[in-house]
């Protein structure tokens, strides 16, 4: 089932710059109305919403707060009248060695923003999709650290991203019969190899056409292209994640 992008709304967290901005631009170019979540960069987010068109809009929210995160979802529904796509892109990476006095606080901050906020938004979205009978899509932007980490100061970051991968698998396994799809995008791999290496793990034993990955790096534009292709999938389930060398998604 393909999405009729002219009739849908997407929420993109961390959308005022970087990968989130690129994703928002790609979605808007496809005709999607985009709700841009920002934290501090209000002016940039609001200017971007105007530039994107399609009645896109920006909403400020502190994703480290469960209350603010739930309020964000409610404000999107109140403003747009619906939601079809959730892109959990916002994250934080704090360098914190295990003997640092701030380690516990750093751990809690990264878990709050990188895992708890996506979980809250996913829960709210699933409840809304089921109630509204919308075959919604959830995309979680993970990182290579979810499967491989070589820097001890980023253990907490790696754990939060691994949790995000597990969350996506759980959503698909639990709600694919209702048409709710969850995907993982690795926005952190440096280069995609061709032919694609193994192993890969995903719900359906299929690999996306790797022609778009040949000799390309996953930067902001490629991340947005991948998300757009994932959202256009015709398959009934879709969770994929990448190892340290490559990304994979259901075709």
What domains, with CATH codes, occur in the chain?
Answer: 5-241 (3.40.50.720)
Q: Please indicate whether residue 38 or residue 219 has the higher confidence score (pLDDT).
A: 38
The tens digit of pLDDT for each residue in 17-76 reads 888 888 898 899 888 999 999 999 999 999 999 999 999 999 999 999 999 999 999 999
Kindly report the number of other CB atoms within 10 A of residue 177's CB atom.
9
Average pLDDT, integer, range 91-106: 86
> What pLDDT shows up at residue 50?
97
Mean pLDDT of the chain: 77
The tens digit of pLDDT for each residue in 56-70 reads 999 999 999 999 999
Provide the token pair at 40: 């501090």
Q: Please indicate whether residue 200 or residue 33 has the higher confidence score (pLDDT).
A: 33
Label residue 146 by pLDDT band (50, 70, 90): low
Given 154, 157, 201, 241, the catalytic residue: 157
Residue with tokens 């606080």: 105
- Catalytic residue flag (residue 38): no
Average pLDDT, integer, range 141-151: 70
Residue 244: phi and psi, rounded to 5, are -70, -10
All residues at 6 or more sequence positions from 99 whose CB lies less than 8 Å from its CB, including other chains: none
All residues at 6 or more sequence positions from 36 whose CB lies less than 8 Å from its CB, including other chains: 12, 15, 16, 20, 24, 45, 48, 49, 52, 56, 57, 58, 59
Residue with tokens 């990264």: 110
If phi over 0 gives left and psi between -120 and 50 gives alpha, with beta otherwise, what is residue 15?
alpha
**pTM for the whole structure:** 0.80
C-alpha 157/C-alpha 172 separation (Å) is: 23
Percent of the chain with pLDDT over 90: 43
């Amino acid at each position: 089932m393909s999405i009729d992008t002219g009739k849908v709304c997407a929420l993109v967290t961390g959308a005022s710059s970087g990968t989130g901005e690129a994703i928002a631009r790609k979605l808007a170019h496809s005709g999607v109305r985009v709700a841009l979540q920002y934290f501090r960069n209000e002016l940039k987010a609001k200017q971007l919403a105007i530039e994107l068109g399609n009645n896109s809009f920006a909403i400020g929210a502190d994703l480290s707060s469960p209350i603010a995160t739930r309020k964000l979802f409610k404000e999107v529904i109140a403003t747009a009248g619906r939601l079809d796509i959730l892109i959990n892109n916002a994250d934080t990476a704090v360098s914190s060695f295990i003997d640092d006095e701030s380690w516990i606080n750093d751990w809690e901050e990264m878990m709050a923003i990188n895992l708890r906020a996506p979980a809250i938004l996913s829960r709210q979205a699933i409840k809304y999709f089921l109630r509204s009978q919308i075959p919604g899509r959830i995309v979680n932007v993970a990182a290579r650290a979810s499967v491989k980490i070589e820097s001890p100061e980023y253990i907490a970051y790696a754990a939060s991203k691994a949790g995000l991968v597990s969350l996506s698998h759980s959503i698909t396994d639990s709600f694919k019969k209702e048409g709710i799809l969850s995907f993982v995008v690795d926005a952190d791999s440096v280069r995609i190899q061709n032919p694609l290496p193994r192993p890969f793990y995903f719900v359906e034993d299929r690999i996306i056409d790797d022609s778009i990955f040949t000799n390309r790096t996953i930067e902001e534009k490629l991340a947005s292209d991948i998300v757009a292709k994932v959202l256009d999938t015709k398959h009934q389930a879709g969770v994929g994640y990448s190892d340290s060398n490559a990304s994979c998604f259901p075709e």
